[in-house]
Structure 1
Amino acid sequence: MSANIVIYNASAGSGKTYQLSLNYLKLLKDLSNNNLKNLLAITFTNKAAFEMKERVIQFLKEIIKNTERGKALKKELNFSEKEAEALLEEIFLNYDNFQVKTIDSFLLNLYKALAYELNLISDFQIKRYIDESLIEKALERVFEEAYQNKNLFLFLESFVEHLLKTQKQLKIDIKNKLVKSLETILHKITYKKELIEAINIYKERDLKEIAQFVNQEDLSQYSKDYYLTLYSLVKDKLEEIFYKEKTLFIGLWKEKLSEFISSQDGFIPWIYVKLGSLEGIIIDEFQDTDRLQWEAILPIVEDLISRNKFLICAGDPKQSIFQWRGGDPFLLQEILNKFSNYSVKVEVLNKNYRSCSNLVNFNNLFFSVLKNNKELKKEILAEIIFGKNDKFERKEEVLQKVLEEFDRNFRHIQQEPTQNLDGEVNLRFIKLDSINSSDSKKYNKIRLNDLIKDEILNILEELKNRENFEDVAILVRKNEEITELSSFLLTQGFKVIGTSFLKLKESKLVNSFVSLLKFLNYPEDNIALAGFLNGGFTQKGEDIFKSYCEAKLRGINLNLIDFVKTEFKDFWKVYIEDLLNKSKILSFYELCQYISNVFRLKEKEEVSYLYKFLSIILDLSSKGGDLEDFLEYWEKYSEDELEIPKDKEAIKILTIHLAKGLEFKHVILPLTWEEKEYTADLGLIFYNGKIYKGKKEELPEEAIIGWYLDKAKQKLEIFNLLYVAFTRAIKNLYIILPEEELKNFKMEGFKIFRKVYAFLEKEKDFSINSFNSL
């Protein structure tokens, strides 16, 4: 390769995965002995990692088979059939060394490899959440320490007095409020570097000095000192608890790892001793990488570049829709700035291999208008950030910074269509005759939803009549909309796959399995036994539960456990007693496999849920987790949905966030979602190296600029959501929107679209159907 660093600006449908897979093979071919461990490819999700692995293997197979595509690949990669066959065999024989993985899984492996250096035991378990009970335990430890530490006691006493003076509603439940705010802050420090730095600074503050703030007249300006000090104290206690219990919180280890590697001069070779030497790194979806993740691997990247090795990144700031959990779209620019003295190649992937020409031209036009028309762009941003009546004197200063950020995001818009397909962008304006501004918003929301459902039915009937009814997706903003819309379409006779149906906790079989495990853990739990019997494992179990309900109506005075023991002795002995005995001698995973075999669960319809469930148990067991650990973990389990089945006849209903990276022949987008009112997390504002806390009206002028910029960051993500939603369709995109703005509805995506559309109508003589002929 001609450059050490290659950056792909990859718009939607531009063949990013294809390009990265080619680069993976090119780099691998140049490595000595084709050593898989010397090359690392990082993705954002497990699905993306699987897709890249699948693409690499498919390329090699095509070359070996000498297909038409294989011939082109052979020429581009300079591979012979023999080389491809040898490399494919190397992958299959050493699949564990095939390093295409998520960034978190790589960092976790790195953490485990450095457990000794970090003063950790090597068999620690990972917690993906912080249970409220642990936060309470940490808070209690702080309180206990106060009895031996006079300054800490004074601080806590002063803090409570400060809370009672500034927040009267806290008099009811101070402890619960503190626990909730601590939970929020501990989630936020998994990615927000400014917050971590602030908390670390407050570790060094004088507690006695802070305790005097309660006597000041202007209490609000000292709130941040109280809160950040408490957060630092609790964070330290939590780390002590984790260490004692041999666990790590999945967020905190990024900070620890970054700090350790950055502080150790000449330490990188020792990492290579542990994990194997790296010759190149490929990073996908770079706009979704958070700063702590990046800083944790940055020393390794710097070492690679200094040795004239390779870094390849691909990303698209326009598709940055995960900033709420730390994704930083401007890291790509930081790479350019940091490594400007090295050979850097920036390539814009400007061809669209997904969508028909009408769709590509629509997006080119729509987002180019936003990008190039400064007055229109400024008008839209001013309205969604400030509203119509905001008199903030430094509004222009804020807007200028926001405009610069928008332009960085949408620098690369124009794409060249490559697909020779018929298709269109079809706008469906809903008539709002039945919506009255004098009615309540709740009533009008119901009416609007009914009108949207009617229009969706119209579109689906049209697709059916055109014999084009396959691979249809409906994109929504919130998870709760999925359930409502799925239920409606099911009643209309449509086959539906709503992603809310694909969550493990929605599976009857999985819930029944968990109930059984709860009963085995505590054999006096009547509720758990009821959940198991009535959960569909066996018809006999359902019959027993029905018999018990009938017996209770007749006045029987037995609990469920005693009823089964006395009335259904054979069932109790064959199933319940057997499982109770097996739970004492089998490992947790072996017990679950045994349950699956006894009840022949692999023959059930929900087998995909079962396999996912068992894979989670296997992963937990491999880390030393037992039944009790699992039950604790399951209470907070929030894993992503199962992969959407490839059923072309079923209508898929999913959020825009989940749709990112996917494509569908036909996409229906109700552009009526509402955005939440902006509030600063915990009232904290970080601006110009300073920290502020309080409501906007309580902040000094400089802090209010930071408040608006933080709000603007949230609002800019709406443009990215529109871009992601508009670029999922292959053939047809149906956009459903009201014919006019609705009073009291904060439909900012709709407002953006309407203003651009109105501009096109005025400037380019557009009509409703103009997009269809682009």
Structure 2
Amino acid sequence: MGNNIPHSLKEIIKHHKFPHLLLLEASAGSGKTEALAKRYVWFILAEGKVPHNDISNILAITFTKKAAREMKQRILEQLKKLALSKHVAIFEETVEQLGIPPEELQSLAEANVSRVIERYSDFQIQTIDSFMARVARSAALELDLRPDFEITMTYGELQHYSIALMLRQVGSGRSREITAMIDQFLDLLNQLARPNFIWNPELELEKKFSEFLGVESKEIGNLVFEDRRNEIQQCRETISQIYEAVKALPLPKKEKYVEKFDNVLKRGNIGEILRRTYSQHTVPVRKGKGSEDETELYESAEKEWLGLIPVVGRLATFDSLSRCHAYGEVYREFKSMLQSVKLRTGVHHISDISKILNQYLDEAIVPEIYLGLGQRLYHFLIDEFQDTDPVQWASLSPLLYESLAKDGSLFLVGDLKQAIYMFRRADYRIMRGLVQEVKGEISSYQWLPPSVRNSAWVDTLGKNYRSGEVILQYVEEVFKNNLKDVLGKKEFQRDLTGLTDFVQDPTPKMKGKGYARTMRFVKGAKEEDEADTAPERKALLGIINDVLNRGYRHRDIGVLAAKNRELAMIVDWLITANIRASASSSLDIRKRKIISEIIELLKFLESPVDDLAFANFILGDVMARAAASRGIKLDSKELHQMILDKGNTGRGYLYQTFRKHAESNTLWEEYFENLYQKTGYYPLYDLVSMALRAFRIFDNFPEESGSLVKLLEAVNILESKGKNSIQDFLEETADEKTELFNLELPEYADAVRLMTFHKAKGLGFPVVINMIYESRPPSNSTYYDKEGEKIRVHYITKDLAKKSPDLAKIYERRVIDNQIQHLNTLYVMCTRAKWELYNLVILSKENGLLGTLFKERELGQKTEKEKQDEPPLPSPTPVKLKHGTEPDKEWGRDEGWSYTRWVDAKRGEVYHKILETIEFLSGPSGKKMTDIMDRCPAITQTPFDSEQIRSDIESFLSCSEVRGWFEPLPGRTVFREKEYVDKSGNLYRMDRVIIDEDEVTVIDFKTGELKDYSEQLKKYMHVLGEIYPDRKVNGYVAYVDSSRVEEIK
């Protein structure tokens, strides 16, 4: 194998070992990201030494956007260091590996910094999902995708819509096939759920279908729901026959047992049959008196009875499959609906993309993919390799195989001990299998490409750059000693990820440094009553205060726990104790009081009959401070009384009571009236901006400016997806899984960081406090067994697995996976600390796995840090919403349409139609007017007095000022009912525009009462002034029926 050949980049270049594969087995804190960044930098610097080393030919894949940003930053930092100084550690190492003279290396690094910045779009450091989406877009037509398809991160909306469409076809007068299918499904579902009853099957469907989609998206193949009811019946008959045969033997019966088993067979309940024990002790007959004949008969009976064991095993397997068959037809119909919805909306889940590509990609099609991408990839660098799932690996494989068949390379970095995403179907076995194949530990090949079987190596990153030596010793004691002691026992059958044999050495500056302590608390019945009296709370607060008193800052401390609900409890503890804290879950702006009040306001605007939403808003801080800014003091008691009185009367709606109330009427007109009228007319972003400005929320809550800007950003993102209504926004706020409303905590924020163990992966803190609560893995009786491209769905319990060897294998696999994930998570949380590590272990029993691993222990010495004067934290940036974020048109209260107003409007339309037909007047106006009146349909078909209209028009055109607008002067151009658009896109239709050589005149014809139309004419004049900047613009309002002309200045 190639792993015996020197494989540093220097040796690879010297012996031109391209293609090749290098896999780095890492541990926590060993510099995985640094190694990847360094590899990338060396490749792009090695001109003429590494083939195809242009940045467009190299792809680095990470598993989170944050990791991608960090890697880009590291690469640019390393290039800048090389360009600016010869006295950095990486400089000598780069000279050694690439054989480039120092003076050339600096200029080369500087040129590459410029190259990366100038061609940033070719700087390909991205998540695997982003890359797959990019490949899919380049081949959208071949994949039967719309060119403008969108990607969603959650199935929620697509799934909910598809299920709703399917269920809409259920019922009388609708689809008979689907109605019958759903009826059968509900019968089967309730049979399986006995003695419980499924009251809301739609929720059950959504839950299970979400799980099924998640499995199919991460595994190669499709779910298979097998109906084994015929086989179940055959097994029942066989059991009955054997039982009756044994019972018929001339031997004494075990009367009670026989009676019970007779009833079991009579009821035919599979669960009861499987719960029975089939062994030498449960043979339904006795040995008798011990004669030779009776002994032979009994041995025969015992043999027959024990022959039931394999039959019962098959029955258990068939029952396991058939219990899930109820979902089969419904799931297939749902997937058909889901596919239709995807095609119609052009929205696809991110996991669909990899699945589609996996079915489409092979090595023969790769050149076409590169043609679509506009570039060819030769070198792949993959981070967190242990978290790759089967579909991702299968989708990447054709690209990897193609590059490794030429002068390409594959650089993989992973740590099996940090495989903690198996609940997302990530499969550590891919990395483990590849390591074994490269090392020659197994003779067959599943993962290693043939082209690099003689140039593939596994290397180890053995240094720890994060933690002090004492912390490393503590971690080794927990896993290499305590865990190793239970190896092979029930708690820990096999070490499949290297938790008991890893090696890590500290850096010289970290030798002898660090502090670690384990504190154990055993839950007692009395201690569970109140979380605030829990002993771990007192210990946690004591540790944090001690750490702060020794010079550490709040942001130096990380508090980690397994679940968000545990973090929520801990956040409350810290805030109550006046300790600044921020949890990843608390960075959701929807949990901010001010944002929740704005959401209540939008609920009211969407549905004014929602009294609860209106009450929540007027009783909140936004309303109180807005009123106070106007010098109005809101009396909360009076508001509460108003709400109670309205509730007692039961008449009308709360907002109507508020609007009519003498003291609150002013508030309604000041704050609500404008918003209330414009809801439904304005886009969502404009409406939210108006609300923020109306209630002066940015001014009154400057400390919330970050959350408010994030709210506007979220609205803008939704609008870009075509979700423009308040209802769309409210549906998004109700989605618990969406990350649209999450803020990123700025680095300078001085607060204790709280996050889950999973979120902490890849991060480090000077001080880490782990809150380790003993809990069971989540229970789920649905299991999956893959055979080829079939993924069979089983219902398995622990007792059922004992009846069938086949089910036992499937069950044991998940047990092992849960065990590995749990232990790996413990390893991850123990390796986040730099100087001090505290493990607070809350046990339900002392002799469990956690009790074995974490014994009371204290190692090392705490350190004092010099308190540094920190620069003051930046004040919130004042945010002012400019006017102009809403349409220019004013929407005042409509005065209402009376009959008189309607008649005046219709008469005005007639006057406009007549004047629109006149370009110029020549000769006596009367003669011209006669021709106009005779030909104009507006006058011949009018229900009004035509003679009165004739008289009004003649009088109007006889005015000297008016007549001048209709004279045919040299160079004059006249536009009638001309439409103009201003620079903001607003459309204006002007009655008459006269373009002369040195001036422009706009006339607006009116009828009826004299009103102030100056603002309207000024807008017209402003638009014309921008179009004709070298000419004077005149504006007039002309009342046709009264022959009055008003000039607008």
Q: TM-score, normalization: structure 2?
A: 0.61
Aligned ranges for residues 346-361 of structure 1 at < 5 Å? 346-361=458-473
> 1:320 deviation in Å?
1.3
Q: For each residue in 1:34-78, what CA deviation from the matched residue of structure 2 results, as whole angstroms up to 9, or x when unmatched?
A: 754433222111211111122122223323432733745764675
Q: For each residue in 1:681-704, what CA deviation from the matched residue of structure 2 results, as whole angstroms up to 9, or x when unmatched?
A: 535555898653233323422211
When residues 505 and 648 of structure 1 are mapped into structure 2, their CA distance, relative to the original with a 3 A threshold, is closer
1:266 maps to which residue? 365
Determine helix, strand or coil for the equivalent of 2:426.
Answer: coil
- Paired residues of 1:42 and 1:102 also in contact (CA < 8 A): yes
Q: Whole-Å Cα distance in 2 between the matches of residues 596 and 53 of structure 1?
A: 37
Q: Whole-Å Cα distance in 2 between the matches of residues 704 and 623 of structure 1?
A: 48
Determine helix, strand or coil for the equivalent of 2:67.
Answer: helix
1:609 maps to which residue? 707
When residues 746 and 251 of structure 1 are mapped into structure 2, their CA distance, relative to the original with a 3 A threshold, is farther
> 1:140 deviation in Å?
2.3
Aligned ranges for residues 80-119 of structure 1 at < 5 Å? 80-119=105-144
1:126 maps to which residue? 151
> 1:142 deviation in Å?
7.6
When residues 113 and 630 of structure 1 are mapped into structure 2, their CA distance, relative to the original with a 3 A threshold, is farther
Q: For each residue in 1:488-547, what CA deviation from the matched residue of structure 2 results, as whole angstroms up to 9, or x when unmatched?
A: 222223222233321232123433444444455556555455555556556226867956
> Which letter does structure 2 place at the counterpart of 1:352?
N
> Which letter does structure 2 place at the counterpart of 1:427?
R
> 1:124 deviation in Å?
2.9
Q: For each residue in 1:593-645, what CA deviation from the matched residue of structure 2 results, as whole angstroms up to 9, or x when unmatched?
A: 67666746397323333444444444444444433544433322424554344
1:395 maps to which residue? none
- Paired residues of 2:521 and 2:841 also in contact (CA < 8 A): no
2:1014 maps to which residue? none
Residue 691 of structure 2 is aligned to residue 666 of structure 1:
no
Residue 768 of structure 2 is aligned to residue 752 of structure 1:
no
- Paired residues of 1:472 and 1:648 also in contact (CA < 8 A): no
1:63 maps to which residue? 82
> Which letter does structure 1 place at the counterpart of 2:707?
Y
When residues 63 and 260 of structure 1 are mapped into structure 2, their CA distance, relative to the original with a 3 A threshold, is same
Q: 2:356 aligns with which of 256, 266, 270?
A: 256
Determine helix, strand or coil for the equivalent of 1:117.
Answer: coil
Residue 757 of structure 2 is aligned to residue 633 of structure 1:
no
Q: Whole-Å Cα distance in 2 between the matches of residues 574 and 633 of structure 1?
A: 29
Q: 1:376 aligns with which of 483, 486, 510?
A: 486
Q: Whole-Å Cα distance in 2 between the matches of residues 107 and 364 of structure 1?
A: 39
Q: Whole-Å Cα distance in 2 between the matches of residues 6 and 189 of structure 1?
A: 30
> 1:8 deviation in Å?
1.8
2:503 maps to which residue? 413
Residue 122 of structure 2 is aligned to residue 18 of structure 1:
no
Q: Which moved more, 1:660-669 or 1:232-241?
A: 232-241
- Paired residues of 1:510 and 1:609 also in contact (CA < 8 A): yes
- Paired residues of 1:64 and 1:85 also in contact (CA < 8 A): yes
Residue 753 of structure 2 is aligned to residue 652 of structure 1:
yes
Q: 1:42 aligns with which of 53, 61, 65?
A: 61
- Paired residues of 1:163 and 1:170 also in contact (CA < 8 A): no
Determine helix, strand or coil for the equivalent of 1:494.
Answer: coil
When residues 522 and 153 of structure 1 are mapped into structure 2, their CA distance, relative to the original with a 3 A threshold, is closer
Q: Whole-Å Cα distance in 1 between the matches of residues 345 and 807 of structure 2?
A: 41
Residue 754 of structure 2 is aligned to residue 728 of structure 1:
no
Aligned ranges for residues 267-666 of structure 1 at < 5 Å? 267-274=366-373, 276-335=375-434, 336=438, 337-339=447-449, 341-342=451-452, 343-369=455-481, 373=484, 376-379=486-489, 382-383=490-491, 399=493, 403=494, 405-407=496-498, 412-420=502-510, 423-430=513-520, 439=525, 443-444=527-528, 446=530, 450-468=534-552, 470=554, 471-519=556-604, 521-522=606-607, 525-530=610-615, 536-537=621-622, 539-540=625-626, 546=636, 548-553=639-644, 559-563=653-657, 576=672, 599=696, 601=698, 604-627=702-725, 628-639=727-738, 642-646=743-747, 649-666=750-767
> Which letter does structure 2 place at the counterpart of 1:483?
A
When residues 48 and 674 of structure 1 are mapped into structure 2, their CA distance, relative to the original with a 3 A threshold, is same
Q: TM-score, normalization: structure 1?
A: 0.81
Determine helix, strand or coil for the equivalent of 1:7.
Answer: strand
Q: Whole-Å Cα distance in 2 between the matches of residues 487 and 720 of structure 1?
A: 28
Determine helix, strand or coil for the equivalent of 2:140.
Answer: coil
> Which letter does structure 2 place at the counterpart of 1:361?
Q
User: As a proportion of its length, which structure holds more helix?
Assistant: 1
Residue 232 of structure 2 is aligned to residue 232 of structure 1:
no
Q: Whole-Å Cα distance in 1 between the matches of residues 566 and 496 of structure 2?
A: 31
2:73 maps to which residue? 54
Q: For each residue in 1:152-188, what CA deviation from the matched residue of structure 2 results, as whole angstroms up to 9, or x when unmatched?
A: 7776555444334333245442624641443342453
Q: What residue ranges of structure 2 are gaps of 5+ in the alignment? A: 1-8, 237-269, 271-317, 439-446, 863-1049
Q: What residue ranges of structure 1 are gaps of 5+ in the alignment? A: 385-398, 758-767
Determine helix, strand or coil for the equivalent of 2:381.
Answer: strand
Determine helix, strand or coil for the equivalent of 2:364.
Answer: coil
Determine helix, strand or coil for the equivalent of 1:377.
Answer: coil
When residues 268 and 237 of structure 1 are mapped into structure 2, their CA distance, relative to the original with a 3 A threshold, is farther
> Which letter does structure 1 place at the counterpart of 2:541?
L
When residues 518 and 685 of structure 1 are mapped into structure 2, their CA distance, relative to the original with a 3 A threshold, is same
Q: CA RMSD in A?
A: 4.0
> Which letter does structure 2 place at the counterpart of 1:359?
I
Q: Which moved more, 1:491-500 or 1:158-167?
A: 158-167
> Which letter does structure 1 place at the counterpart of 2:137?
K
> 1:713 deviation in Å?
0.8
Q: Which moved more, 1:724-733 or 1:653-662?
A: 653-662
> 1:340 deviation in Å?
5.6
Q: Which moved more, 1:319-328 or 1:116-125?
A: 116-125
> 1:322 deviation in Å?
1.4
1:29 maps to which residue? 45
Q: Whole-Å Cα distance in 1 between the matches of residues 574 and 777 of structure 2?
A: 30
Q: Whole-Å Cα distance in 2 between the matches of residues 648 and 610 of structure 1?
A: 18
Q: Whole-Å Cα distance in 2 between the matches of residues 5 and 154 of structure 1?
A: 56
Q: Which moved more, 1:239-248 or 1:361-370?
A: 361-370
Q: How many residues align?
A: 719
Q: Whole-Å Cα distance in 1 between the matches of residues 816 and 533 of structure 2?
A: 28
2:214 maps to which residue? 188
- Paired residues of 1:583 and 1:591 also in contact (CA < 8 A): yes
Q: For each residue in 1:1-38, what CA deviation from the matched residue of structure 2 results, as whole angstroms up to 9, or x when unmatched?
A: 52532222221111111111112222333579975443
> Which letter does structure 2 place at the counterpart of 1:485?
I
When residues 61 and 570 of structure 1 are mapped into structure 2, their CA distance, relative to the original with a 3 A threshold, is farther
Determine helix, strand or coil for the equivalent of 1:314.
Answer: strand
> 1:454 deviation in Å?
1.7
> 1:352 deviation in Å?
0.8
> 1:661 deviation in Å?
1.1
Q: 1:223 aligns with which of 298, 303, 323?
A: 323
- Paired residues of 1:39 and 1:278 also in contact (CA < 8 A): yes
Bigger CA radius of gyration: 2
1:392 maps to which residue? none
Q: For each residue in 1:428-477, what CA deviation from the matched residue of structure 2 results, as whole angstroms up to 9, or x when unmatched?
A: 44476xx65xx47xx44758971111222332343344344551222212
Determine helix, strand or coil for the equivalent of 2:507.
Answer: strand
Residue 799 of structure 2 is aligned to residue 697 of structure 1:
yes
Determine helix, strand or coil for the equivalent of 2:156.
Answer: coil
Determine helix, strand or coil for the equivalent of 1:307.
Answer: coil
When residues 770 and 73 of structure 1 are mapped into structure 2, their CA distance, relative to the original with a 3 A threshold, is closer
Determine helix, strand or coil for the equivalent of 1:189.
Answer: helix
When residues 633 and 260 of structure 1 are mapped into structure 2, their CA distance, relative to the original with a 3 A threshold, is farther
- Paired residues of 2:732 and 2:738 also in contact (CA < 8 A): no
When residues 608 and 58 of structure 1 are mapped into structure 2, their CA distance, relative to the original with a 3 A threshold, is farther
When residues 537 and 246 of structure 1 are mapped into structure 2, their CA distance, relative to the original with a 3 A threshold, is farther
- Paired residues of 1:500 and 1:506 also in contact (CA < 8 A): no
